[in-house]
Amino acid sequence: MKHYLTNEIKNIALVGSSGSGKTTLAECMMYEGGLITRMGSVEDKNTVSDYHELEHERGSSVFSSIMHTEWRGTKINLIDTPGLDDFIGEIIPAMRIANTAVLTLNAQYGVEVGTEIIWRYLQQYNKPAIFVITQVDHSKADYNAAIEQAKERFGNAVVQVQYPYNPGEGFNAIIDVLKMVMYKFPEKGGKPEKLPIPEAEKERAEELHNALVEAAAENDENLMELYFDKGELDEDEMRQGIRLGMLERNIFPVFCVAAKQNMGSGRLMGFIGNVAPSAGDVAPEITTEGEEIKISDPDTTLFVFKSSNEKHTGSMSYFKVCSGELVAGTEFTNTTTRTKGKINQIYVVNGKNRSSVDKLSAGDIGATVKLKDTFINHTLRPKDDGVMVEPIKFPEPKIRTAIAPENNKEEEKMGLALNKLKETDPTLISGYRRELKQTIMEGQGALHLSMAKWQLENIHGVKVKFDKPRISYRETIQKAANGYYKHKKQSGGAGQYGEVYLAVQPYSEHASPPGDFKVRDTQEIELDWGGKLVFNNCIVGGVIDNRFMPAILKGIMEVMEEGPITGSYCRDVMVYVYDGKMHPVDSNEISFKIAGAQAFKQAFLDAKPKLLEPVYKVEILVPSEFTGDIMTDIQQRRAIPQGIESEGRLQKIVAHVPLAELYQYATTLSSITQGRGTHTREFLEYATVPADIQAKLAEQMRAEKELA
């Protein structure tokens, strides 16, 4: 394969809603570029990108696939991404390392919820974008409606470069208003015939051409002067203006294709090759220290944006060359983990197929195998200089479940398998939660967790089951109270004796002791689970030796870790140990630990304890016709609505919702909105549980203890 230089490389992320034709477009582009000799199809399960067994089973993309094609001296790296936000962990890295996003809109449906989600990330990463309206040959295609929706949602920067002459059944021609020509395709697609624009279309074509010229001229003062002088720009001048406009996100060019028939992809590839920003045109990567990694820097920098575990090859690391030149045999330091390694082989990939190359230029995308301890977001450099590329930030989970092996003896095997999944998918979070006594797995949606379960069972060979996850409640107090306990045990020989008097009150930064206590020593403990414990030693006269105070604190901490109402963590309590007794022979640490724990438990229960529950800020994005049903549903979930605002044709509902009410919410939302709604959630605060629910939970705890 030819070695491509930085300015000859175009990195393209194919993004869009599920069913918008990304995989078929990628297949068509590879066929047009001569990288494959026959186009596969999603239906026949023989496309280059959707090659995984799981994708064949589902009939749609689950993982991002890296491919490349060539077009007239340009290498176009393609990353085909899934269309569901359950798999946003595969989509975001593609957008992050791409120079341009090709955002596909299905001509039947226009702007969908998935389009909105992707658009937010494109804005976040400030990426140039090309809109491609697909399936214009479908009988229900409505190209004009799709364009209107795109303009309504994304503004007048959406500028048509093409439109279909005869959309729907029988489609075979595209009018290009940049070149001012009509492309007419043969029956089976392929190379089109260039024809004059039909007389009936000239007025529309001229209007769109002028809009494109004006949009191009606005991005450069010299072009604007030329436009005023000549009243026109030639094709090269328009290309220059469009490229500048794309880089500033002032122009989003629109193309149309019927990829399954191989109509329109060649012109799109020509535009990508001639106009779309190259790897050297876009902003450089930024380090964690805020410094630029210029693509011209001689030191080679690799950023790993994807990891996978393949059946026959083992671990694969996919990277972008951010600077310098990568040559096979180069030794590297992983500056993220401070481990050293060597890249013996460099590959360019097309789905599951890979070809070995000797070197890659800055801006290119490659892969290698079996790099030890190297995963997503890791940086590789020739020397251990601490330079790290700013990591990709992934969204918070939207759904959680308890997970356990069907065979209890496979607990360790399941844990190892979950760790393997986390290495390749940072949006899949799992771990054993001691307070819940469950292993919790969190992800982006019900389908995401279902796919993880499939991998655990079919790839890692461990059968698992899902269960309802418990809630991480917190316990605290609302008033001051006293506690007392005497621990006395005599069983022959040395006995046990410890007597503790203490007081508790709710934590407050400037609180005064609830009694006439003189505080001798204070320990303020930031609890691992949030909140504080303030432990005050108020002992006078030596009634309890100072060496027993750590034991009393340890006893209190044991109760704090398993609160008396529901067994949940306690927080935000101030404790004052002010009196007690000890025995010259029988007192020891265990005696005072027990006495301290029991005195604290008694005081806690007398201090008007209350239960706190985690509350999340939830943003729900749905088509407007479902707003009423969604509001009704979330109000039944004890939600506190915060507002509704429009985002194009969609509505964004914001509410504060207890986590206990969000179990399987993603499934419910999908059911209500026919799969067209999505949501995000972010932890907000711990809030008081209603009294009736607290009583019910306390009763459940008592019943469980009686059965134990």
Tens of pLDDT, residues 326-346:
999 999 999 999 999 999 999
Count of structural domains, the chain: 5
pLDDT in tens, 667-684: 899 899 988 888 999 999
Q: Which is nearest to 157 in space by CA: 221, 218, 92, 223?
A: 218
In a domain, 555, yes or no: yes
Do 409 and 426 sit in the same domain of this protein? yes
In a domain, 536, yes or no: yes
The answer to whether the beta carbons of residues 275 and 243 sit under 8 Å apart is: yes
pLDDT in tens, 567-594: 999 999 999 999 999 998 899 999 999 9
Of the three residues 470, 492, 518, the one that is the final residue of a domain is 470
Reduced to 3 states, what is the DSSP secondary structure of residue 428?
A: coil
Which amino acid, 299? D
Residue 82, token pair as written in the block: 């899934």
Of the three residues 415, 440, 470, the one that is the final residue of a domain is 470
In order, the DSSP letters of 627-642 are HHHHHHHHHTTT-EEE
What percent of the chain is modeled with pLDDT above 70? 99
Do 528 and 547 sit in the same domain of this protein? yes
Give burial (CB, 10 Å; 0-12/13-18/19+) of 171: buried
In a domain, 229, yes or no: no
Q: Distance (Å, rounded) from C-alpha 472 to C-alpha 232?
A: 66
The answer to whether the beta carbons of residues 446 and 666 sit under 8 Å apart is: yes
Q: Distance (Å, rounded) from C-alpha 635 to C-alpha 105?
A: 34
In a domain, 230, yes or no: no
Of the three residues 470, 492, 521, the one that is the final residue of a domain is 470
Q: Distance (Å, rounded) from C-alpha 121 to C-alpha 81?
A: 14
Q: What is the CATH number of the domain that holds 435?
A: 3.30.70.870
Q: Which is nearest to 533 in space by CA: 513, 515, 507?
A: 507
- Is pLDDT above 70 for 600? yes
Do 159 and 291 sit in the same domain of this protein? no
Do 154 and 141 sit in the same domain of this protein? yes
The answer to whether the beta carbons of residues 677 and 667 sit under 8 Å apart is: no
Do 264 and 121 sit in the same domain of this protein? yes
- Is pLDDT above 70 for 500? yes
Helix or strand (DSSP H, E) at 350: strand 346-350
In a domain, 243, yes or no: no
| Mean confidence (pLDDT) of the chain | 94
Number of helices (H), then strands (E), belonging to the chain: the values are 16, 38
Q: Is the alpha carbon torsion for 257, 107, 679, 663 positive or negative?
A: negative
In a domain, 204, yes or no: no
Q: Which is nearest to 639 in space by CA: 671, 665, 676?
A: 665
Q: Distance (Å, rounded) from C-alpha 32 to C-alpha 261?
A: 12
pLDDT at residue 708, as a whole number: 61
Do 129 and 18 sit in the same domain of this protein? yes
Reduced to 3 states, what is the DSSP secondary structure of residue 97?
A: helix
How much is the pTM?
0.89
Tokens 């007025």 map to which residue? 203
Q: Distance (Å, rounded) from C-alpha 513 to C-alpha 653?
A: 45
Residue 116, token pair as written in the block: 């909105």
Do 49 and 182 sit in the same domain of this protein? yes
Q: Name the H helices within 231-339.
A: 235-247, 265-274
Do 664 and 572 sit in the same domain of this protein? no
Residue 188's pLDDT band (boundaries 50, 70, 90)? confident
Do 371 and 403 sit in the same domain of this protein? no
Secondary structure of the chain: what % helix, strand, coil (to 5)?
Answer: 30, 30, 35
pLDDT at residue 676, as a whole number: 82
Mean pLDDT to the nearest integer, 179-198? 95
668: left (phi over 0), alpha (psi -120 to 50) or beta: alpha
Residue numbers of the domain that contains 305? 285-381
Q: Which is nearest to 538 in space by CA: 510, 505, 575, 572?
A: 575
Residue 69, token pair as written in the block: 């094609």
pLDDT at residue 492, as a whole number: 66
